Amino acid sequence: MPYQNKYLELLSKEYPTIQMVASELINLNAILNLPKGTEIFITDIHGEFDAFNHYLKNASGIIKEKIDLIFPDLTEVEKNRLAFFIYYPTDMLNKYKQELNGENFQKLINKQLTYMILLAKEIVTKYTKSKVRKALPEEFSYVIQELIYESSSHEDKERYYQAIIEAIFLTKRENKFILQLSRFIRKLAIDQLHIVGDIFDRGPLPHLVMEKLVSMNNVDIQWGNHDISFLGAASGSRVMVANVIRIAARYNNLDCFEDGYGINLIPLARLAVKYYNNDDCSLFIPKGYSINYNKTEDMSFVAKIHKAISVIQFKLEKEVISRKPGFNLEDRLLLDKIDFDNKTVRIDGKDYPLFDSNFPTINPKKPYALNKDEEEVLSHLTLLFLHNEMLQKHARYMMQNGSMYLKYNNNLLFHAAIPLTENRDFLRQEINGKEYYGKSLLDEFDRLVRSAFLNRYEKDNFDKDYFYILWQGGSSPLFGKHSMKTFERYFLSDKKSHKEINNPYYKFRLEDDVLKMIYDEFELDFNKSKIINGHVPLDVTKGDQVVLANRRIYSIDGGMSKEYSNKTTMGGYSLISDSHAYFLVSHERFDTYQALIDSEKDIVSVTRSEELNTRRTYIYDTNKGAELKESINDLLQLLDAYRAGTVTEKK
């Protein structure tokens, strides 16, 4: 009880009078009965900033849908033009400034402005005035409030309404006003954005994706295996530093680190040239290219870097695997299985011929030892990752807004899998002498990741090893396979040796008993809750099932990365949850936003699945509602304390 009194005394500083408590109680109870805001779930962005940015700008098709609903009498051309003034206002203003004379340009802008105000009026209806005010641009806060909350139907009000718009033009603020109003509309179109893993790797601009997310305040992230690799590198894990650079080289995206993050890769390039200058490194030509590359873009230099950092990574894996024997990663130690004379490698008792046997930096007697040059380069790179301001900012954001999984509005979000065994039980993993499985395994991995990051500048912080384990370990919820065959894919022709077996989760998740076991483990409602994940690219146009287990699982990796264009014909999925329904939307593959502006035709977003709620969802049904109910309970106790005299009103 003394603790409770102390808490109420602290709360009374924020609500010092009975009247203020009563006012807040009225406000919170009213908010509980507003419709739930719109949530958008996106996964596996993989550095494709332009596509991702466009899906944010058009709110995965929601804004165009609102325009269709509010302006049924407009032509399709007029609707598209309005949509693009909201998506890309600066580009559209510049476009029409060049195409139209002054008077016609002003008429067009006046018309777009009027439509945008009507659209904003519709979008704000599900939010409190307080929330709307917080989203308003400071410069035009008063003006926008007057326009969206005042009715223009009465004759006097209509004059007032038009006078405001005319004054905007008179003061030559129409361009800036449209820009700010469009941002306001886009901001309120999405109430919560869920990124269900894999922001990094493959695509060229993950740093811009991160900058975009950092600028937003309604985002949560469920880490994917590629995100955990980035976090490991940012935490100073040497093997993860090598891994992220290897993948960047594999997809010819080294510019992401050199230009995006300003990390100097010249020492690595020098090492690559020194040891592989006479090696064409044909196996390491970046994905999408061939040994017969275009001579104007010489990929052999990138291939040399790719091979050099790959060999360094294979060496570094030894020290991590040796420190963590309980994770069964010993099958990844293959450098000591190489027969350098016969140019073969022994795997599971079988000798495989090597595609490439030129390993100038490997000492057959000490195959896992870095040579002096490799050690210097790796130390240099690790320090750069640990002390890069932008990279560390992004890593902190991912730690603060990310997690292994998230329970949100009765749904369970995670990137890949809940590790299971062939017996349909939870996979059990011993960590530091204690056994974990199911939810407890994900919680412990989450704790270890945070510990490793927060203590990243400590020299002997071996929690950093868990980044590697989560990247490719058999018990990793982010990897979801038994083993990652990186070495085999590089060096062996036998496709059977490349095979990576999915965790039994993918086989058994459709069975009610198994799914109910997972639901019970995470305290989910089997009749209402959804599991939402990504990781495995699926294409509904080719017959892949995305909505699974009687609508209990949404697996929404649609292959946004251009590297998946040979696997999926589309450019990703968005799952949308509003107060009425769940919508699974598939997007056409994105080209360039300039092409869209020129044509004023959005990429087509097709609703592939629609699941209507049995009743409309309100704030009191949500996570936010649960928080508000706790606040209401606290305020009721404070009110009772004021009235009982145990807490005194303040000035």
Residues 433 and 355 in one domain: yes
Per DSSP, the three-state class of 196 is coil
Residues 553 and 586 in one domain: yes
Residues 327 and 391 in one domain: yes
What is the CB-side half-sphere exposure of residue 308 using CA atoms within 13 A? 28
Do the domain assignments include residue 651? no
Residue with tokens 């091979």: 307
Confidence at 296, pLDDT banded by 50, 70, 90: very low
Pairing, β 429-431 against β 192-195: unpaired
Residues 607 and 484 in one domain: no
Tokens of 147: 């326009």
Q: What is the pLDDT of residues 474-495, one digit of tens each?
A: 999 999 999 999 999 999 998 8
Q: How far is CA 195 from the centre of its chain?
A: 3
Do the domain assignments include residue 516? no
Separation between Cα atoms, residue 368 and residue 504, nearest integer Å:
33
Do the domain assignments include residue 504? no
Task: Tell me the mean pLDDT in the region 226-254.
Answer: 96
Residues 486 and 595 in one domain: no
Against a cut of 0.85, is the pTM above it? yes
Q: What is the pLDDT of residues 370-383, one digit of tens each?
A: 999 999 999 999 99
- What value does the mean pLDDT of the chain take? 90
Per DSSP, the three-state class of 143 is helix
Residues 306 and 443 in one domain: yes
Do the domain assignments include residue 104? yes
Residues 395 and 459 in one domain: yes
Tokens of 411: 């749904």
Residue with tokens 């302006």: 71
Choice among 9-18, 463-472, 558-567, 593-602 with the minimum mean pLDDT = 558-567
How many structural domains is the chain composed of?
3
Do the domain assignments include residue 592? yes
Separation between Cα atoms, residue 402 and residue 245, nearest integer Å:
23
Give the domain range for residue 305: 206-498
| Predicted pLDDT at 152 | 56
Beta bridge partners of residue 574, listed in sequence order = 585
| Predicted pLDDT at 151 | 63
Do the domain assignments include residue 512? no
In 3D, which of 558, 604, 559, 554 has the Cα closest to residue 581? Answer: 554
Residues 237 and 177 in one domain: no
Question: Where are the alpha helices (H) located in 174-253, listed in sequence order?
Answer: 174-189, 206-214, 225-234, 238-250
Beta bridge partners of residue 199, listed in sequence order = none
Q: Quick check: 80 pLDDT over 70? A: yes
Residues 590 and 632 in one domain: no
Q: How far is CA 229 from the centre of its chain?
A: 14
Confidence at 590, pLDDT banded by 50, 70, 90: confident
Residues 255 and 356 in one domain: yes
Residues 139 and 265 in one domain: no
CA distances from 110 to 104, 332, 505 (A): 10, 65, 56
Separation between Cα atoms, residue 146 and residue 162, nearest integer Å:
11
Residues 543 and 570 in one domain: yes
Task: Tell me the mean pLDDT in the region 597-610.
Answer: 79
Do the domain assignments include residue 478? yes
Q: Quick check: 157 pLDDT over 80? A: no
Do the domain assignments include residue 256? yes
Pairing, β 402-403 against β 219-222: parallel
